[in-house]
Amino acid sequence: MVKPMLRTRSLKRKRIRTPGNRLVTHFKTEKPGAARCAVCKKPMHGVPRIKSSKMGRLPKSQRRPERPYGGNLCSECMRNLFRKSVREIFKKK
Amino acid sequence: MALEVGRVCMKTAGREAGKYCVILKKMDDNFVLITGPKVLTQVKRRRCNVEHLEPTSHMVKIDAEASDAAVIDAYEKTGLLVKLGLRKPSPEIVKEAEKPKKEVKKEEKPKEVKKEEKPPKKIEEKKPEVPKEKEKPKEEKKPLMIKIKIPSFRRKKEDKKEEKKKPEKKKPEKKEKKKPEKKKKK
């Protein structure tokens, strides 16, 4: 029997054949995928890969970057958005 | 759009992104000095990279390195406050923001030191009351604290030690009497 700690079904199990020709199960905690930008779909910096239950324990400044649209848009997409908004105002006048 | 003194821009990087500011001075090929001012648009007076600014079509008439109050007046004359949707702050708030804050910080530090001296006195008074009933190890810690302080406290503690020793001797006698009684019943 494995340790009681490892018997939860919240852990991922992987069967691995060892060099001595034995079958062994390896246990791993699941990790969510990296957060992605809503426009360009690239993985973003500054957003940790933790379960949402543990994310609540972090201070707010460590959950996402501190700029507008932080955690939803990457820095370049956010910059393009503000540039467009300013240039549209300029065209009308 | 050229980046001249008085040009109204929008910041496009960092936590101040999406907020309006005015150029006050050209420092380099790459850097300019800007303000919101902070009271108006929350952009503080700072050096800024030219690539992080997006110029608008609006201009404000100001001198190079003008004060925050002068910039707010210039905003009002051109009617930009209404166009950009900004609220004009009261003159009292503008005056407070311009004052240097260094003096306030110096006053706070000495107060903290005084507070640290006071609490230890309170703790010393409470401790002597509790130990009368209980263990010996607590008694050893107290005298160290007391030596630093007033001599009147020492006399009280010496009296307490004598009282504590007496009850300890009595307790073991009672236990011995009880044990033999149980054996007789068996």
Quote the ipTM score. Answer: 0.75
Give the DSSP H/E element, type plus range, for residue A78: helix A75-92
User: Can you give the pLDDT at residue B104?
Assistant: 58
What is the predicted pLDDT for the residue at A89?
Answer: 73
Name the pairing type of β-strands B20-26 and B53-59: unpaired
C-alpha of A86 from chain center: 31
Taking CB atoms and an 8 Å limit, are A67 and B10 in contact across chains? no
Q: Are B18 and A75 inside 8 Å of each other by CB?
A: no
Q: How far is the C-alpha of A29 from the C-alpha of A20, rounded, in Å?
A: 26
**Measured between CA atoms, how close is B42 to chain A, in angstroms?**
13
Residue spans of alpha helices (H) in chain B: 38-41, 68-78, 80-83, 91-98, 102-129, 137-147, 152-185
The residue of chain A with its CA nearest to that of B52 is A79
Amino acid B150: pLDDT: 57
Contact predicate B105/B134, CB 8 Å: no
Predicted local distance difference test score (pLDDT) of residue A2: 87
Question: What is the overall mean pLDDT for chain B?
Answer: 74
User: pLDDT tens-digit profile of B92-115?
Assistant: 888 887 777 766 556 666 655 555
| Least CB–CB distance from B13: residue in A66, A79, A89 | A79
Residue A23: alpha-carbon gap to chain centroid:
32
CA angle B54, B59, B61 (to 5 degrees): 135
Q: Do B17 and A66 touch (CB under 8 A)?
A: no
pLDDT tens profile B138-180: 555 555 555 555 556 555 555 555 655 555 555 555 555 555 5
CB contact under 8 A, A89 and B14: no
- Cβ distance A79 to B10 less than 8 Å, yes or no, reads no
What pLDDT does residue A18 have? 96
Residues in A 10-49 with any Cβ partner in B closer than 8 A: none
Which residue of A66, A78, A89 is in closest CB contact with B56?
A: A89
pTM for this one? 0.61
Which residue from B minimizes the CA distance to A75? B13
Q: Which residue has the higher pLDDT, B86 or B114?
A: B86
Q: What are phi and psi of A3, to 5 degrees?
A: -60, 145
If one compares A27 and B122, the residue with the highest pLDDT of the two is: A27
Contact with chain A for residue B12, Cβ under 8 A? yes
Query: Chain A: nearest CA to B5, how far in angstroms?
Result: 19
Question: What tokens appear for A7 in the block?
Answer: 């018997």
Interface mutation vs chain B, best among A75, A79, A81, most B CBs within 10 Å: A79
Q: B15 to chain A: which residues are within 8 Å by CB?
A: 66-68
The answer to whether the peptide bond before residue A4 is cis (omega within 30 degrees of 0) is: no
